[in-house]
Amino acid sequence: MRLKPFLIYTILITLFFWLSWGYFIFTVSPEDILLLGLFGFYFLLGCALLGIFFLFGILGRRLFRKHELFSKHIAISFRQGFLFTFLFLIALFLQSKDFLTWLTMFILVVFFSILELLFLSITSTRH
């Protein structure tokens, strides 16, 4: 698939998840939410954030690393977008339970940085 249709589809899907999350926020009462509702909240927000981080990653790589293959941009952007999304959702969940402190956030950032370095070292040894 070429770059332009791929980006258009990704933008439309991301917009769909943002609108779904917004609809969820305005229609579901926080007092009546059960486990399934909590899962829906985090799932919709996670998909919307993944789309945004993925798009920013691809656009940033297209601007600053034009010499690399588009498929490489997709793989790296998706991996980093997934890691950023997961970090954000964990921090949001910890904040909702009043467990998020500077120390726990620092530990999370260090953990995800080490995980990204591990992915980078694995992919660099393959090539």
DSSP assignment of 74-119, as one string? HHHHHHHHHHHHHHHHHHHHHHHTT---HHHHHHHHHHHHHHHHHH
Q: Say how many C-beta atoms besides its own lie within 10 A of residue 122's C-beta.
A: 9
The stretch 52-78 carries a mean pLDDT of 88
pLDDT the model gives residue 73: 85
**Residue 77, token pair as written in the block:** 């952007």
How does residue 127 score in pLDDT terms, banded at 50, 70 and 90? low
Range of the domain at 38: 3-126
Q: Say how many C-beta atoms besides its own lie within 10 A of residue 25's C-beta.
A: 12
4: pLDDT strictly greater than 90? no
114: pLDDT strictly greater than 70? yes
Does the global pTM surpass 0.85? yes
102: pLDDT strictly greater than 70? yes
Q: How many domains does the chain have?
A: 1
